[in-house]
Amino acid sequence: MATTFGDGTDVHAGAAGEFSLGGDLTIRRMGYGAMQLAGPGVWGPPRDRETALAVVRRALELGVNHIDTSDYYGPHVVNGIIKDAIHPYQDDLVIVTKVGARRTPEKDWPAALKPAELVQAVHDNLDHLGLDRIDVVNLRIVEEGGGLGPNDSIEEPFTALAELREQGLIRHLGVSNVTAAQFAEARTIAPVVCVQNEYNVVQRDDEELLRLCAAEGIAFMSFFPLGTYTLRHEKPAGQDAKVPLATPLDNRALDVVAERHGASAYQIALAWLLHRSPNLVCIPGTSSVAHLEQNIAAAAVRLTAEDLAELDTLQA
Ligand SMILES: NC(=O)c1ccc[n+]([C@@H]2O[C@H](COP(=O)([O-])OP(=O)(O)OC[C@H]3O[C@@H](n4cnc5c(N)ncnc54)[C@H](OP(=O)(O)O)[C@@H]3O)[C@@H](O)[C@H]2O)c1
């Protein structure tokens, strides 16, 4: 699997280009998602704390200036790793966090969307990241545990975050796991600078929302860019159980394109996202320095029209 391209030097995250978030934060489109830094099941401390710290530091060395996190990763573990690794933060670093869920001892992720829960979560993020103000807070809509479904209004929780923004604790707001109607509703309450929904080479349900965000100058941050859930599990209609699937990352179309570029299927999946739309921002997650380097190197892969046509056959 290639970690570098061309002359063998490290590829900088800047090879993917930049995006202006909210008009005042410039992020490189190849970012880093920190969820995998916690222990197995996004629970507890990492197996190897030194490696977790090294992953975060290496991301910045390779030009990443956008980290996606949450205080419910661990819970209360991942933000501490980020802080210990790189605080005080470099001036151009943008940390994007999310609120709206909590963890239970059973390692579930029920909703925590009541205003008081959201206020507490924002303060927890500030404390554990060591910040006076958070660059971006995404309201993550969660249905489990008495939360909000796709047809519900998000007025109450988004208004609570808008008030914290007015108080100066948050610079910009985003929304996550939302429908187009919920996105539109949020925008009537306060400016929205990003949407973070599941989207990858085989999960393209949000094409229309992606296009809408592009037209409005709003970032679309794809979660599960490598499709860890999408590609390996599905929920059969009417069932909650997760059924393992063969991962389309093993799919021949990805492999063919990967071979052509001397890259891995993972790198092609990330490169595809970066080619999809100029407002598409990648936050691949990893607990490994080697995987991080490979993922960032994907910023330099230039897909051809032929590659893109072949990858279109992967659409679910
Ligand atoms: N808003 C939301 O609701 C939401 C939901 C989920 C995630 N997120 C955010 O999105 C980010 C990305 O999601 P994710 O981490 O769940 O999924 P992902 O980026 O799609 O995939 C991560 C998985 O792929 C593996 N991996 C990564 N790079 C690899 C490589 N080059 N070669 C082989 N395996 C590789 C990782 O294992 P290793 O650790 O072994 O590399 C990990 O198991 C998260 O970190 C989080 O910040 C947001």
For residue 87, the enclosing domain spans: 13-245+278-302
pLDDT band at 2 (very low <50, low <70, confident <90, very high): very low
For ligand 1, is residue 174 a contact (CB within 6 Å)?
A: no
Q: Is residue 268 part of a domain?
A: no
The residue contributing the CA closest to ligand 1 atom 10 is 223
For ligand 1, is residue 284 a contact (CB within 6 Å)?
A: yes
Q: Is residue 252 part of a domain?
A: no
Q: Please give the distance, rounded to the nearest whole angstrom, from the Cα atom of residue 92 to the centre of ligand 1.
A: 23
- Specify the CATH number for the domain of residue 62: 3.20.20.100
Question: What is the reported pLDDT for 253?
Answer: 78
For residue 220, what are the β-bridge partners? 195, 280
Catalytic residue check, 73: yes
Report the domain count for the chain.
1
Residue 256 neighbours by CB under 8 Å, 6+ apart: 310
Q: Is residue 172 part of a domain?
A: yes
> Quick one: average pLDDT of 136-151?
97
Q: Please give the distance, rounded to the nearest whole angstrom, from the Cα atom of residue 189 to the centre of ligand 1.
A: 31
Q: Please give the distance, rounded to the nearest whole angstrom, from the Cα atom of residue 226 to the centre of ligand 1.
A: 6
The residue contributing the CA closest to ligand 1 atom 30 is 291
For ligand 1, is residue 159 a contact (CB within 6 Å)?
A: no
For ligand 1, is residue 294 a contact (CB within 6 Å)?
A: yes
Question: What is the reported pLDDT for 10?
Answer: 76
Largest CA distance in the chain: 54
State the Cα–Cα distance between residues 171 and 90, nearest whole angstrom.
17
The residue contributing the CA closest to ligand 1 atom 32 is 291
For ligand 1, is residue 31 a contact (CB within 6 Å)?
A: no
Q: Please give the distance, rounded to the nearest whole angstrom, from the Cα atom of residue 212 to the centre of ligand 1.
A: 25
Q: Is residue 228 part of a domain?
A: yes
CB atoms within 10 A of CB 165: 18
Pocket test for ligand 1, best of 62, 94, 148, 224 (most atoms within 8 A of CB): 224
Q: Residues 240-252: pLDDT tens digits?
A: 433 333 444 556 7
Catalytic residue among 32, 73, 199, 266: 73
Q: Is residue 269 part of a domain?
A: no
Residue 297 neighbours by CB under 8 Å, 6+ apart: 2, 3, 4, 5, 10, 11, 263, 267
Q: Please give the mean pLDDT across all residues of the chain.
A: 90
Q: Please give the distance, rounded to the nearest whole angstrom, from the Cα atom of residue 41 to the centre of ligand 1.
A: 12
Q: Is residue 7 part of a domain?
A: no
Contact 134, 125 (CB under 8 A): yes
Question: What is the reported pLDDT for 315?
Answer: 65
Q: Is residue 273 part of a domain?
A: no
Question: What is the reported pLDDT for 243?
Answer: 39
Q: Residues 98-109: pLDDT tens digits?
A: 999 999 999 999
For ligand 1, is residue 140 a contact (CB within 6 Å)?
A: yes
Q: Residues 64-98: pLDDT tens digits?
A: 999 999 999 999 999 999 999 999 999 999 999 99
Q: Is residue 250 part of a domain?
A: no
Q: Residues 20-50: pLDDT tens digits?
A: 999 999 999 999 999 999 999 899 999 999 9
User: Is the pLDDT assigned to residue 290 strictly greater than 60?
Assistant: yes
